[in-house]
Structure 1
Amino acid sequence: MDRRRLLAGTATGALALTLPLGLVGCMAADESSAAAADFITVDGQRLLRGGEPYRIVGANLWYAAWLGADADYGDRARLMRELDRLQALGINNLRIMAAAEEGPLNNSIKPGFTHPDGSANVAMFEGLDFAMAEIAKRDMTAVLVLSNFWEWSGGLQTLLQRVTGQYMDMGDPAHPWPEFADATAEFYANADAVALYHAHLRDMVSRTNSITGTTYADDPAIMSWQLANEPRPGGSDAAIARNGEAYLAWISGTAELIRSLDANHLVSLGQEGTQATNGSEELVALAHAQIDYVTAHIWPLNWGWVSGDDLAGTWPAAQELVSAYLATHTSIATGLNKPLLVEEFGFPRDGEAYSPEATTNFRQLYYRTIYDAVEASWRDGGPLQGSNFWAWNGEARAAHPDFHFRDGDRAYMGDPPHEPQGWYGNFDSDAAMLGLIRDHVRAKCRGLTEPCPA
């Protein structure tokens, strides 16, 4: 996610795209062996684990591998404390980064999983190993994200830079929106850049956990491999039309590669939904044709639906837009007969303040809107199977009065380092937010045999 962008997002209507060869439906995993090993599977619009419905009350914890690293930037004790807090809260799924590409982009996080020359940062891989071992101990699952459309973890733009020598910074005044998105979408048709991406994917999917000795392909704590964070076919209508075929071919080919290496786990895309396609529902459906479940992300402030300095005045109209976005993607998932997850949703604190002392009244209204839709789907047998809020800050606090992250800071939180620290994340002291999440967990447990936190 890149929360600095404000998009007009006008609809393009149906795109004249043909389906790439091979994009004809999901490969079926061996459901009997998956159930026996407690892997998460898909049955129509439901997620199952051990043959029982698997409802998700999740969070985003992108920085888990950084904390898990046995390095000066790691903090394994803190990681275990944060996982304990999330487990006690009733969170059962975490979405975390399994890639970060160091490079020349202004906001590219350092360290990454790969150094600027493409070589592996062993400490980061082992940090993910430690995080996955601890997640498994708590009977939680994780979505592992294999790259990023946005610049804050290096991402696809950095992979392009490694093969072309050229790059574009997000937010460069010389290249206003949507030039960054259009330039990054050139990745899909660049065979050399895709080869670098696939090389990291192979390393990760084929990896053996250095802590547990379990191969990642055999680890039931992994829920799905995710192709990237918010991959878009472009920003402008012209770029989307130009890149659409290559975009769909990249999705199809990558899904096929993952399944050739790992027959046990689901494959997800990480797409925002129609906000990523300038309104085209057709392209969202095509993008998920060979993907196991549909994803949607919802960002009212980023998308200009609310004003941070007038949440009271702008929230009512935004709530209608949120509900309409949920309805649109519920319809897409129903048409595909696949589950739907709202795997990113975030909202500012009151007054768009960053301090943990600031109230969260409008954030609570927003979360309740998402959670009400999820709970209704659980009751009514709809495709919306759960959500992951953005994001968990836990015990971290901004190190500086201006709330900016500086090189050398180690208090990682849900707001990536290029963003104001405390913008969207929930702190361990946010009593009202934590109470709302606990109520949602109790709703999840109704009608299920799994134990529910008190």
Structure 2
Amino acid sequence: MTTFARRTFLGTSALLAGCTMAPPVATTPAATNRAFVRRDGMRLMVGDEPYRFVGANIWYAAYLGADAPYGDRARLRRELDALAAMGVTNLRVLASAEEGPLRNSIKPGFRGPGKDYNQTLLAGLDYALAEMAKRGMRAVLYLTNFWEWSGGMMTYLSYVNGGQYLNMNDPAHPWPEFANYNAQFYGNARATELYRDWIRAVVGRTNSVTGMRYADDPAIMAWQLSNEPRPSGDLAHANLPQFYALVRSSAQLIKSIDRNHLVSTGSEGLKGGLERADIVLAEHAIPEIDYLTVHIWPNNWDWVKQTDLPNTAVRGEMLTDKYIADHVALARQLDKPMVIEEFGYPRDGGSNDPAAPTTWKDRFYGRIYAAALKSMTEGGPIVGTNFWAWNGEARAQHPDYRFAEGDRQYMGDPPHEPQGWYGIFTGDTTIRLVADQAAAIARLPR
């Protein structure tokens, strides 16, 4: 999620009320022995059938899956059951966190500056994937982050430059200094080799729960190079050949280890491409990149004002419609599928309280889902959506809604953001829209 500008069917009605979750899902051959997702032009396919999905972001799945004081496997199973009951079949999950000095980055990390990786957290990822497979879900796993909340590229740079770094939203270094500094990552051979070491370790991993190589696991849909990579904060600091070269070499490395899974960038689209279509096209035309990713953040991008949604929502809807249409045109030009893999909207009045209504948020979700369903119905490039994000049963631990080190109530709103800002809680009316979309997709001709 970009931070610079802030910067039916339900199992039962009890799911909405947050009182009763769906029963645990037993492992079945149909759930675990599935074909891989592959690309065919603008379609994703499983066998001879199109693969279309309603998905969610649940970055913290490996943390809940860890057999450690910071883990909670029982809660992970409940959250997956709740998502499965809604019809969610695709989850975008953090598969790397670089532990270091950045303020508001999650701890523990998956790794530090050396190769002594956090095997407990990796086993948490193993557990999460195994539980997803039982429920017929597939994962998109991202392998680093442009932003600070999981360490990311800035932390990689700090590993190799003597500990120098910038914090995001530091008043002494206003936007776009953080992003421009981060752009050094793409040309830093020592930092990128540490990143490649991580790719080799994770993509080449064998799941400690199932005994299956990740490369052979149909529960993985795709590897993603990063969360929201962008060449820089402004064009003056962008070394585009360097950026494209890292995208391609990283994607090639993944494909050399794992020929079964898709690879995507994790880009926001035009917002991550410095508002230039040629950058988005060049980044996604790389043959090893299988589909176009799009993120939509009306509040972060000042398309709406969360304190005045009634008077700004229409403008945001117009800009959202245009952003989707522009990317559909790019996907057609690329002849590749498109996934709207992040979209978020505040609760009424910009509240972080789960008790606050979601009138305007629900209207925004409805618009995203209508555009996706229309594209699917007409044979267009949109094949799926992943809302940001699933908060589930978690609740903020502090009156100021800020995450503090040591908190264990992980939710979709990452540690650097107000807890409850964008995520969907168990009991939210937004769940009905997710479930309705899943049901509508299930009715489409195969």
- Say whether 1:257 aligns with 2:253: yes
* Aligned mate of 2:369, from 360, 368, 371: 371
* TM-score using structure 1 length: 0.90
Amino acid at match of 2:336: K
Q: Is the 8 A contact 2:105 2:415 kept in 1?
A: no
1:436-447 matched pairs, under 5 angstroms: 436-447=433-444
1:55-454 matched pairs, under 5 angstroms: 55-115=52-112, 117=114, 119-165=116-162, 166-240=164-238, 243-290=239-286, 291-430=289-428, 432-448=429-445
Post-superposition offset of 1:268? 0.5
CA distance in 2, matches of 1:156, 1:56: 30
Q: Is the 8 A contact 2:113 2:156 kept in 1?
A: no
Question: Counterpart of 1:275 in 2: which secondary structure?
Answer: coil
Distance verdict in 2 for CA 1:147–1:408, change over 3 Å: same
- Say whether 1:3 aligns with 2:6: no
Moved more, 341-350 or 438-447: 438-447
CA distance in 1, matches of 2:420, 2:444: 36
Distance verdict in 2 for CA 1:214–1:448, change over 3 Å: farther
Structure 1 stretches of at least 4 aligned residues deviating more than 6 Å after TM superposition: none
Per-residue CA distance 1:214-262 (angstroms, 9 max, x = gap): 000000000000000000000112012xx11110000110111111000
CA distance in 1, matches of 2:122, 2:275: 37
CA distance in 2, matches of 1:417, 1:177: 20
Q: Is the 8 A contact 2:298 2:304 kept in 1?
A: yes
Q: Which residue of structure 2 aligns with residue 50 of structure 1?
A: 47
Question: Counterpart of 2:80 in 1: which secondary structure?
Answer: helix
CA distance in 2, matches of 1:374, 1:157: 34
CA distance in 1, matches of 2:349, 2:192: 42
Per-residue CA distance 1:122-159 (angstroms, 9 max, x = gap): 11100000000000111100000000000000001100
Q: Which runs of 5+ in 2 are unaligned?
A: 8-32
Question: Counterpart of 1:411 in 2: which secondary structure?
Answer: coil
Amino acid at match of 2:352: Y
Q: Which residue of structure 2 aligns with residue 30 of structure 1?
A: none
Q: Is the 8 A contact 2:141 2:223 kept in 1?
A: yes
Post-superposition offset of 1:115? 3.1
Amino acid at match of 2:166: M
Per-residue CA distance 1:7-62 (angstroms, 9 max, x = gap): 8xxxxxxxxxxxxxxxxxxxxxxxxxxxx950000111011112211111000000
Distance verdict in 2 for CA 1:448–1:77, change over 3 Å: farther
Amino acid at match of 1:360: T
Post-superposition offset of 1:168? 0.9
CA distance in 2, matches of 1:369, 1:68: 33
CA distance in 1, matches of 2:146, 2:116: 20
Post-superposition offset of 1:446? 1.4
Per-residue CA distance 1:189-227 (angstroms, 9 max, x = gap): 111110000000100000000000000000000000000
Amino acid at match of 2:70: Y
CA distance in 2, matches of 1:179, 1:397: 33
CA distance in 1, matches of 2:252, 2:434: 36
CA distance in 2, matches of 1:117, 1:145: 20
Amino acid at match of 2:180: D
Post-superposition offset of 1:447? 2.8
1:7-46 matched pairs, under 5 angstroms: 38-46=35-43
Distance verdict in 2 for CA 1:329–1:89, change over 3 Å: same
Post-superposition offset of 1:385? 0.9
Per-residue CA distance 1:361-406 (angstroms, 9 max, x = gap): 0001111111010010011000011110000000001111111111
CA distance in 2, matches of 1:374, 1:136: 25
* TM-score using structure 2 length: 0.92
Amino acid at match of 1:121: N
CA distance in 1, matches of 2:384, 2:34: 22
Per-residue CA distance 1:51-105 (angstroms, 9 max, x = gap): 2111110000000000000000000000000000000100000000000000011
Question: Counterpart of 2:307 in 1: which secondary structure?
Answer: coil
Question: Counterpart of 2:79 in 1: which secondary structure?
Answer: helix
CA distance in 2, matches of 1:360, 1:37: 37
**Alpha-carbon RMSD:** 1.2
CA distance in 1, matches of 2:444, 2:58: 28
Q: Paired residues, what number?
A: 418
